[in-house]
Structures are given as C-alpha cells and as structure tokens.
Amino acid sequence: MLRLPPIRIEAPDTLQDAAQLLSNGNTRLVAGGTDLWPNMKRRHQQADTVVSLMSIPELDVIDNGKTNTRIGATATLADVIRDDEVRRRFPAFAKAVASISSPPLRNMGTIGGNLCVDTRCTYYNQTEEWRRSIDYCLKEEGQICWVATKSPRCWAHTASDSAPILCALDARVTLVSSTGERELPLKDMYVDDGIDYLAKRADEILTELTIPAASDDSQCRSAFWKLRRRGSIDFSTMSVAVAVWTDDSDVVTRATMYLGAVGAAPMPVAEVDAVLVGNKISKDRIAEIAHVAHQIARPMDNTDFTASWRGKMTEQYVTAALREIAGMPPLHMQPRHRLRVI
C-alpha cells in the first residue's frame, strides 16, 4: 500500500489566510486531492505543509450571470456538469468535464485542480521503486529524458481535459497571492515545458475561471473530442477542442482550435482561423485544417498508444469535431464518452 509521507495540513477559511500560508516554505495547495495525493504517495511531489482550499466558501460558487459565467476554483467537476446553465451555454466544455476520469473522482476533483493538473509521462507516472530502477528522469531529479534521450528538456504532456476547450472559448483565470491579484487569459497560463508547465507562480492561488458570454452557445459553436483506450477513467492520449463564431449566413467570423495531450501545453492550431474566416465550413476546408493539425501535432512516446498512430488520429478527430460544428453527418467514428449527469 502506498502511504503519504508525514505532512502538516492547514485548512484556512479565508483566501487571505491561504495565500499567507502558501508563501511560507515548502507548501502546496490541495482541493479535491485526486492529483496531489497520488503524486505524493508515489513521491512525485513533496511538501512539508499542504493547504486545503475546501473550507473557503467563496471558491466553490458557479455564477451564470447575464454576461460572463464565473466558476470558483473548488467547484467540483460533478457540480460543473450538473449545472443546467453551464451545460446549455457551453456544451463542449460540459462534455469535456464529463469525460474526466469517473463519477467518484468527478465528485472529488475540482475545476481549478484540473486546470493545474500535473503533466504526465509513461516514465514518470510510476512507483518510486520503478523509477529508481531505470534511474530518475528529468522531471524528478534525473539527468535524462527517457522519452527523448538526447533532448535537454522534459516532454511530459498536458493532462487537463478542460484546458483545451476553455482556451478555445477564450476563458480567463484569476490568480491571487499574498501580494495581490491578477487576471490573465487561460491560454497564457500554460508553458511548453513538461516540468515548469504553468506560468502561475508557486505563491499564487487560482481562484476563479471566467468564460465570456461571447463564447456561449447562442453565439459560438464548439466541439470537444477525446482519444483514450477506454470510455471512462483513462487520461486523454489526444484531444481536439474547437470553437467557431459565424454570422447569420453561417460565414465564419472567427475560429479557434487547441489540441490536448500532444505537448506540455494545450497546442493552438492557428491556421484554423486563416482557413475558415470569411468562408463557410466545407469538406475541403475541413480536410485542409485536419492536414495542418496532423503536421503540427508531434506526439511523443510518453503515453498510451504509439506516437505515430496518435498523430494520425489527430487528423481524424479534427475532421470529426469540425463536421460536428458544421452540422454534417458524422463519419463512422463516434465519441467514446457521453455527457451524463450523475
């Protein structure tokens, strides 16, 4: 049985107290704990003190205002997908959240935790004894990346399913520390580095997620497709998130696309905007974007399935997501998960 190391637990009831505690020494935050506790049990992450955010009441609020939708960082994944307005206004986001893990873990895991979830790798997410037997990798005190042995960097991949679709929907996050508060686009919170994958400082707390009203279903069509071996529990091995804005004639005015699990950060496909804007979505344009996505997605041998097959499936999933947005009949593929409110 894997056990936690000795730690001190703090459960402040104000955000100010939490921020002050976080600024002291070797301290980590925890909300649902579905990522941190397993990582600490496997000795991936260490801390002398762990500060829980679950006693701070204002952090679990879901506010569907007339303009933006605000979701507190400790709102559970289950709470997000149970919210009628979230499902109505942002169906692809709700679908992405519903694809995360399994019902028991969605009842514990939080949206803030999923946005900050640690990057993953076949050579890293193992027991300490397994990792020690082949020598530690770059992500944990080692001198070599076992995915790309001649590379000077870590190639662990992003594991968040909510991040790609929220980046596509222009979501923003609020970060609070003992010295102040700042807001930034979610896409700017991620760094293409398997170790230092967040631009969020270690003393900052992600307190709130904001999705603009301009991205809701009345103005924006969105889609999320996720590749994994099983229809539940498994982390993504590749995902596609797309958002498209059109005028009254179905001519595209703006489009965004992000790929998940093929790099250390959600990967933007910038070409989707250049190809679609000023045009209606057509089979030829879908094929062009799918080809470009396949070219820029460079999955590594760091998760389930072969890297080359994941790259090829990127093309297929981009096609499927864009056909869904365009209202075209689906191909023989179907998403391997469904939105279930439990």
CA 105 to chain centre: 16
Q: Is the pLDDT of residue 342 over 80?
A: no
CB 280 within 8 A of CB 267: no
Let me know the angle formed at the C-alpha of 134 by 128 and 137, rounded to the nearest 5 degrees.
75
Give the model's pLDDT for residue 339. 55
Q: Quick check: helix, strand or coil at residue 78? A: helix
Rounded CA separation 140/43 (Å): 9
Q: Quick check: helix, strand or coil at residue 173? A: strand
Q: Which of 170, 89, 72, 154 is CA-nearest to residue 120?
A: 154
The CATH number of domain 57-116+157-213 is 3.30.465.10: yes
Give the confidence band of 341 by pLDDT, cuts at 50, 70, 90. Answer: low
Let me know the angle formed at the C-alpha of 266 by 260 and 269, rounded to the nearest 5 degrees.
90
Mean pLDDT, residues 311-326 = 96
Give the pLDDT confidence of 60-97 residue by residue, as tens digits: 999 998 889 999 999 999 999 999 999 999 999 999 99
Instruction: Please report where in the chains the tokens 């694809």 appear, as a residue.
Output: 99
Give the chain's largest Cα–Cα span.
62
Give the model's pLDDT for residue 99. 97
Please measure the distance between the N-terminal and C-terminal CA atoms of the chain and give it in whole angstroms: 30
- Class of the CATH-defined domain 215-326: alpha beta
Give the pLDDT confidence of 189-216 residue by residue, as tens digits: 999 999 999 999 999 999 999 999 999 9
Q: What is the 3-state secondary structure (H, E, C) of 248-293?
A: CCCCEEEEEEEEECCCCCCEECCHHHHHHCCCCCCHHHHHHHHHHH
Give the pLDDT confidence of 16-50 residue by residue, as tens digits: 999 999 998 899 999 999 999 999 999 999 999 99
Q: Is the pLDDT of residue 235 over 90?
A: yes
The DSSP 8-state label assigned to residue 118 in this structure reads: P
Beta strand ranges found along the chain (DSSP E): 8-10, 27-30, 49-52, 62-64, 69-72, 172-177, 180-185, 205-211, 220-227, 238-246, 252-260, 267-268
Domains in the chain: boundaries: 57-116+157-213, 215-326
What is the arrangement of strands in the sheet containing 27-30, beginning at the earlier edge strand? Answer: 8-10, 49-52, 27-30
Q: Which of 32, 57, 159 is CA-nearest to residue 107?
A: 32
Give the model's pLDDT for residue 67. 87
CB 48 within 8 A of CB 18: no
Average pLDDT, the chain: 94
Give the pLDDT confidence of 239-284 residue by residue, as tens digits: 999 999 999 999 999 999 999 999 999 999 999 999 999 999 999 9
Give the model's pLDDT for residue 1. 75
